[in-house]
Structure 1
Amino acid sequence: MANIIKRRQVQQKIGLSYNAIYERLNPKSPRYDPDFPKAVKLGTAPNSPLGWIEAEIDAWIAKRFEKTNAAACEA
């Protein structure tokens, strides 16, 4: 079973603010990242909190690290 983490835990893992996370999820934002993991609602109410699958967040971090490393090696 997948481990779900809430926004504050995502913030701690990736080092981005609340707004920066939601900008990466918003296709209208210049900071939109189509590779950023999609959030899942943790309830049925309209104001239910969101959560992310921890393995997807970890994979996104690893992918960004690989891109950064590749760019540094090419420089």
Structure 2
Amino acid sequence: MVQNILRRDEVERVTGLPRSTIYAKIASGEFPKSIKLGARSVGWLESDIAAWQQSRINASGVAA
């Protein structure tokens, strides 16, 4: 099964988080780890980002 990979700029856009916060949350285990795509590029599985977003919605108590 092929999954979409989101680049950092897209992850920033869909989560509303700046780069520094994304990497701080990765370091603390609060955000999905990135996938190395090349020597200087990373990406995230779209499904991992969607699951993270859903967990934040669930934790807030707001119905989606």
Q: State the number of aligned residues.
A: 61
* In 2, Cα distance between equivalents of 1:21 and 1:35: 9
Residue 23 of structure 1: aligned partner: 24
Q: CA RMSD in A?
A: 1.3
Letter in 1 for 2:31: F
TM-score scaled by length of structure 1: 0.75
**Which protein has greater RCO, CA pairs closer than 8 Å, 6+ apart?**
2
Aligned counterparts, 1:1-75, within 5 A: 1-26=2-27, 32=28, 34-43=29-38, 45=39, 48-69=40-61
How far the C-alpha of 1:68 sits from its partner, in A, is 0.2
How far the C-alpha of 1:25 sits from its partner, in A, is 1.3
Gaps of 5+ in 1: 27-31, 71-75
After TM superposition, where is structure 1 displaced by more than 4 Å over at least 4 residues in a row?
none
Identity of aligned residues (%): 36
Structure holding more strand per residue: 2
